[in-house]
């Protein structure tokens, strides 16, 4: 079995790289988004923020997007598939501080898509109070403890999907305009709330007066404009279900936000850190015991190995397959599935490992996959 993992380091601490637009591969990709001080916000998993123009051959697999810096520039994540991809929030972010600042499900060329702004705010208590005050008139909503603010998208009548007028997570309706008939797309409950508000102006005026008189409006505004808050990512995703998005979100330590910080074995978890050894032999190799492939991660310091690009990984059924076949291909790290040996392939596609060799031995030879590796 051949497993290939591609790692992309998306960072620009010096601010000299210009626009970063990093496509992925058809396999499993990990995008590590670090400090970005450049002029432009980076784009990952596509050539453009909305996914347009991306080569289909660069899409596929189960991708991971690791947000490493809470204060960095907004990253544009294109072509997210919430059913299999994962987003890891910056360290220190708590569930109650996650704000889906903009959530817009829509249909484009017959395909269900969503535009999502993933944001962080230190406090969102006032925003939740306003949501409760507005009740059925609010276009905002909360699912599994995550606060959402809705977006809406106008379209022409000809663009309306012929059979998708209403379903659980998406609604289109026609409005009579002086110029022409247009449609509005968005999250179904939010569109219903918007229509209800339009039909009850006196009720909305009373709610807004209470917000001003109690100071709630000012509290919410302070939360939104908090200088320590940040828009972490703008996401172009497949599908319409907001719960799918929530299930794709993980804390930085690998626990899912839906499990309230308890590890469920599906994300990054306990890390074993590996650096280049002084000698490449069994005595110097890291000995890793009780490695749980469901929860544990091997973190490899690629700088110590002299790798200044995206690192790659492959696994072979035994040492012979690793040394005779895979070592002749341009993979950086190789794994012997029979004996549990992890190797550094220093000389790329040349014969043997060059100045590299074994760097770790996993006792019991667990089935190491791309989700168990993180290159930093």
- Looking at the fold, whether 118 and 232 belong to one and the same domain comes out as yes
For residue 186, being part of any structural domain is answered with no
For residue 38, being part of any structural domain is answered with yes
For residue 335, being part of any structural domain is answered with yes
Averaged pLDDT for residues 45-59: 81
Q: How is residue 244 annotated by DSSP? A: H
Q: Which residues have CB under 8 Å from 253's CB, separation 6+?
A: 91, 268, 269
- Looking at the fold, whether 238 and 278 belong to one and the same domain comes out as no
pLDDT at 263: 39
- Looking at the fold, whether 231 and 361 belong to one and the same domain comes out as no
Averaged pLDDT for residues 295-308: 83
* pLDDT of 180 strictly over 80: no
- Looking at the fold, whether 242 and 333 belong to one and the same domain comes out as no
- Looking at the fold, whether 245 and 347 belong to one and the same domain comes out as no
For residue 99, being part of any structural domain is answered with yes
Residue whose tokens read 């626009």: 19
- Looking at the fold, whether 48 and 94 belong to one and the same domain comes out as yes
If you average pLDDT over every residue of the chain, what do you get? 83
Tokens encoding 41: 């916000």
For residue 224, count other CB atoms closer than 10 A to its CB.
16
CA 338 distance to own-chain centroid: 33
Q: Following CA atoms 11, 16, 117, 198 in sequence, which dihedral angle do they give, to the nearest 10 degrees?
A: 170
For residue 320, being part of any structural domain is answered with yes
For residue 248, being part of any structural domain is answered with yes
Kindly give the interhelix angle for 201-213 and 188-198, rounded to the nearest 10 degrees: 100
Q: HSE of 331 in the Cβ direction (CA atoms, 13 Å)?
A: 24
CA separation for the pair 345, 340 (Å, rounded): 16
Q: How many domains does the chain have?
A: 2
Tokens encoding 2: 């051949």
- Looking at the fold, whether 255 and 278 belong to one and the same domain comes out as no
185 pLDDT band, cuts 50/70/90, is: confident
- Residue (of 329, 328, 358) closest to 343 by Cα position: 358
* pLDDT of 266 strictly over 50: no
- Residue (of 171, 169, 183) closest to 82 by Cα position: 169
For residue 191, being part of any structural domain is answered with no
- pLDDT > 90: what percent of the chain? 38
- Looking at the fold, whether 21 and 66 belong to one and the same domain comes out as yes
Question: Between 84 and 240, where is the model more confident?
Answer: 84
- Looking at the fold, whether 244 and 340 belong to one and the same domain comes out as no
For residue 202, being part of any structural domain is answered with no
| Beta-bridge partners for 316 | 336
Instruction: Pick the range with the lowest mean pLDDT from 190-199, 223-232, 291-300, 322-331.
Output: 291-300
- Looking at the fold, whether 23 and 75 belong to one and the same domain comes out as yes
pLDDT at 59: 85
- Looking at the fold, whether 117 and 238 belong to one and the same domain comes out as yes
CA angle 253, 258, 227 (to 5 degrees): 65
Whether pTM > 0.85 for this model: the answer is no
- Looking at the fold, whether 251 and 371 belong to one and the same domain comes out as no
pLDDT at 350: 80
- Domain of 21 in residue numbering reads as 5-122+226-259
């Amino acid at each position: 079995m051949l497993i290939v993992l591609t790692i992309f380091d998306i960072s620009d601490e010096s601010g000299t790289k210009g626009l970063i637009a990093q496509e992925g591969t058809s396999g499993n990709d990990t995008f590590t988004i670090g400090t970005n001080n450049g002029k432009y916000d980076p784009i990952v998993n596509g050539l453009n923020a909305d996914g347009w123009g991306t080569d289909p051959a660069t899409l596929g697999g189960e991708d991971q997007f690791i947000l490493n810096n809470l204060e960095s520039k907004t990253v544009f994540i294109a072509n997210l598939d919430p059913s299999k991809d994962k987003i890891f929030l910056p360290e220190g972010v708590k569930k109650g501080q996650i704000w889906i600042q903009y959530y817009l499900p829509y249909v484009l060329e017959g395909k269900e898509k969503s535009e999502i702004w993933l944001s962080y705010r230190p406090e969102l208590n006032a925003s939740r109070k306003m949501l409760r005050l507005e009740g059925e008139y609010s276009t905002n909503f909360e699912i599994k403890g995550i606060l959402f603010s809705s977006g809406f998208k106008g379209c022409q009548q000809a663009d309306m999907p012929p059979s998708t007028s209403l379903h659980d997570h998406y609604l289109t309706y026609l409005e009579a305009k002086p110029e022409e008939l247009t449609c509005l797309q968005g999250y179904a409950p939010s569109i219903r709330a918007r229509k209800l508000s339009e039909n009850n102006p006196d009720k909305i005026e009373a709610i807004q007066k209470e917000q001003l008189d109690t100071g709630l409006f000012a509290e919410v505004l302070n939360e939104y404009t908090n200088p320590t808050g940040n828009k972490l990512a703008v996401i172009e995703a497949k599908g319409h279900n907001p719960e799918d998005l929530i299930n794709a979100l993980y804390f930085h330590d690998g626990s899912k936000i839906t499990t309230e910080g308890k590890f469920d074995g599906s994300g990054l978890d306990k890390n074993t850190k590996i650096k280049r050894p002084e000698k490449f032999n069994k005595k110097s190799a890291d000995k890793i015991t009780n490695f749980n492939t469901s929860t544990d991660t091997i973190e490899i310091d690629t700088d110590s190995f002299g790798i200044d690009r995206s690192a790659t990984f492959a696994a072979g059924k035994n040492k012979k397959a690793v040394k005779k076949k895979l070592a002749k291909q341009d993979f950086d790290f190789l794994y012997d599935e029979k004996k549990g040996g992890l190797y550094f392939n220093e000389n790329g596609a040349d014969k043997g490992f060059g100045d590299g060799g074994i760097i770790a031995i996993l006792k019991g030879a667990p089935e190491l996959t791309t989700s168990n590796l993180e290159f930093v």
